[in-house]
A and B are shown apart, each in its own frame.
Chain A
Amino acid sequence: MLKLLTKLKTMRSREAMYLYLFIAPGLLGMILFHLAPMVASLGLSFTEYEITSPPEFVGFKNYHRMLFVDELVGKSLSVTAIYAVVGVPIRLFLQLFLAMLLNRKIAGIRLFRAILYFPSVVAGVAIALGWILLLNPTYGAVNHILWELFGIIGPRWLNSTQWVIPGLLLMSLWGIGPGIVINLAGLQGISPELYEAAEIDGAGGTRKFLHITLPMMSPILMFNLVMGIVSNFQIFTQAYVMTSGGPANSSLFFVLYLYRNAFEFFKMGYASALAWLLFAIILILTLAVFRSSPLWVYYEAKRERN
């Protein structure tokens, strides 16, 4: 008996050993590339550090400057926030709408799904460069189409302090492919019986959408809302490549400003404080969405329990 127990024990500890052995790379990676840098980042945010000389402790100076002195922090935050507040809902709506359009069993639907996802495959710098031309006020396709189809003289887009954000928002609509696919997967998860029952009760398209589709999709909408907010606050490439934050800082996104402080002005301490502000904002917004979710997100399991 005792022998068996010790054998079991060694088997258990052997199993634990394998567990730790196999997950070791991940554990090490987490500590080396995430945890340690995060702690270091917090430490650095209380220093003045320009890489060439050792960091110098300055207390809350960076935070004071960030919150009360540096006007560009407020500017970049408002640029980022406006972009998010306008862009995220538009994209959420468009993703759901397109997913509903694509959620049909008609001939060729797979091809249409592929085509509407396609623009999201060609992401990054290459496509950003293309959009500089597309948004060219005089020779670009966007203004040409506006003129030909609607007789509208298009704005100066990236050259205008007012239109640069709308221009970038317009471009972002070509990157909603993943959102469409997530919504599509969600729509396919809704049981057709729900719609059939509603039809028998005489519900029309609008009522079916409001009383079945929206509530059933609300967890996915929430997920996309969180991801949308998080990714919006991390926008960098477009601003760096297409506008350099201009004209007159009107597209100075927060991460671009952070990048400049760190890698152009070499204010590593100050940039670390900015990074922690970004982290705090993302965390607060994410928590706010999760906290508010019982008010508007419908979970099926909960209903079954009642």
Chain B
Amino acid sequence: MGIGSAEYIADRQDELRLVRRRRRARTILIYAALIILSIIALLPVMWMVAISLTPLNKVFQYPPRLIPDPLSFTGYHEAVTLFPFFRYFLNTSFMTAARVIGTVFSASLVAYGFARYDGPWKEVLFVFILTPIFLPEQVTLIPLFVGYTRLGWIDTYNPLVLPAFFGGSAVYIFLLRQFFMTIPTDLDDAARIDGASEFAIYWRIILPLAKPALATVAIFTFMASWNDFLGPLIYLTSKEKLPLSVGLSRFLGESGTTLWNSLMAAAILTVLPPILLFVFAQKYIMQGIAITGGGAKG
């Protein structure tokens, strides 16, 4: 039975067909697994949306339904009337915006210093500034609270916002320094010859070139700040200053019988901005996680 014989060729063709069929079966299996996993992944949020559109007297019904019947928008109406959604939304937005601005500017300033200038103790200072990455924030929580109390800063946004203007999270300093080091120094030198100040080089040359990295930092800070719970829980006391996170958890405890449909409506409205950001800036988020290892805190 030679290689060219009809029998051999038929055999090889059968084999090939089998391999192809097996490969196709595998692809179908993978798609099936991905689709099932996608449904599982989305189910919790879809469920919350369903409850938010259910009239209160049907929230606790059996069997539970993914498509509410009848549809009701009372939940959303109450989420913006009974629950001061807009007030809390503004508070969260202010806190988040301030932290994003503070972190982007101060972290990039520090990162630029480390990326471009040399001086005694530079390495030691770099390690020193990065150590908070490995410190649990709980260790500093109590003295900070005591300090802010002495300063009369409890129930103000200062404790929540000011640290962002002093370098923010150390992870971002690291991330930005890494990025700045990839920008060639020729541009700096050219600008220097043209008489640009060192700050102008940072501001007019480095920052515009580092937009993708800055976007990543901004997005992570946004996400962390939007979801921050422990900070506002500790530092804010008056109801009208609360962000959405703490506001939501209070809404749960307030009424004897919880208005679950309104609570879910408020929860859905709360996660909408992060979802939108994810949809439009997915690329930066994925890249950022791969670089920082997802250990980014706000």
Q: Is the pairing of A and B real? A: yes
- Whether B275 and A121, one on each chain, are in contact in the complex, defined by CB atoms closer than 8 angstroms, is yes
Query: Within 8 Å of chain B (Cβ to Cβ): is A117?
Result: yes
Task: Give the residue name and chain of the B residue nearest to A132 (CB).
Answer: B252
- Whether B136 and A26, one on each chain, are in contact in the complex, defined by CB atoms closer than 8 angstroms, is no
Main secondary structure of the interface of A (DSSP, over half): helix
- Whether A240 and B249, one on each chain, are in contact in the complex, defined by CB atoms closer than 8 angstroms, is yes
Query: Within 8 Å of chain A (Cβ to Cβ): is B238?
Result: no
Residues 104-133 of A contacting B (Cβ, < 8 Å) = 104, 106, 112-119, 121-127, 129-133
Main secondary structure of the interface of B (DSSP, over half): helix
- Whether B143 and A182, one on each chain, are in contact in the complex, defined by CB atoms closer than 8 angstroms, is no
- In whole angstroms, what is the CA distance A62 to B195 when docked? 61
- Whether A116 and B264, one on each chain, are in contact in the complex, defined by CB atoms closer than 8 angstroms, is no
- Whether A29 and B106, one on each chain, are in contact in the complex, defined by CB atoms closer than 8 angstroms, is yes
Task: Give the residue name and chain of the A residue nearest to B140 (CB).
Answer: A37
Residues 119-162 of B contacting A (Cβ, < 8 Å) = 119-120, 122, 125, 128-129, 131-132, 134-147, 149
Given that A26-B166, A129-B263, A234-B136 are known contacts, is A121 also in contact with B143, CB under 8 Å in the complex?
no
Task: Map CB proximity to B onto A24-51 as digits: 1 under 8 Å, 0 otherwise.
Answer: 0111111011101110110010000101
Query: Within 8 Å of chain B (Cβ to Cβ): is A92?
Result: no
Task: Tell me the minimal C-beta distance from A140 to chain B in angstroms.
Answer: 7
Task: Give the residue name and chain of the B residue nearest to A13 (CB).
Answer: B119
Interface residues contributed by chain A, number (CB under 8 Å) = 90
Query: Within 8 Å of chain B (Cβ to Cβ): is A295?
Result: no
- Whether B293 and A21, one on each chain, are in contact in the complex, defined by CB atoms closer than 8 angstroms, is no
Query: Within 8 Å of chain B (Cβ to Cβ): is A16?
Result: yes
- Whether B60 and A30, one on each chain, are in contact in the complex, defined by CB atoms closer than 8 angstroms, is no
Given that A122-B275, A263-B234 are known contacts, is A40 also in contact with B229, CB under 8 Å in the complex?
no
Residues 229-261 of B contacting A (Cβ, < 8 Å) = 229-230, 233-234, 244-246, 248-249, 252, 260
Stretch at the interface among A160-168, A194-202, A275-283: A275-283
Partner of B167 from A26, A106, A182 at Cβ < 8 Å: A26
- Whether B294 and A23, one on each chain, are in contact in the complex, defined by CB atoms closer than 8 angstroms, is no
- Whether A19 and B122, one on each chain, are in contact in the complex, defined by CB atoms closer than 8 angstroms, is yes
- Whether B132 and A30, one on each chain, are in contact in the complex, defined by CB atoms closer than 8 angstroms, is yes
Task: Tell me the minimal C-beta distance from A74 to chain B in angstroms.
Answer: 18
- Whether A27 and B41, one on each chain, are in contact in the complex, defined by CB atoms closer than 8 angstroms, is no
Query: Within 8 Å of chain A (Cβ to Cβ): is B44?
Result: yes
Across the interface, which residues of A come within 8 angstroms of B138, CB to CB?
Answer: 234, 255, 258, 275, 278-279
- Whether B51 and A133, one on each chain, are in contact in the complex, defined by CB atoms closer than 8 angstroms, is yes
Given that A182-B289, A278-B139 are known contacts, is A125 also in contact with B227, CB under 8 Å in the complex?
yes
Across the interface, which residues of A come within 8 angstroms of B34, CB to CB?
Answer: 101-102, 112
Given contacts A23-B114, A26-B170, 6 further A-B contacts (CB under 8 A): A17-B119, A129-B252, A133-B51, A144-B64, A255-B138, A262-B141
Please name the 4 residue pairs, one residue from A and one from B, whose CB atoms are nearest each other, closest first: A29-B166, A22-B113, A16-B119, A178-B294
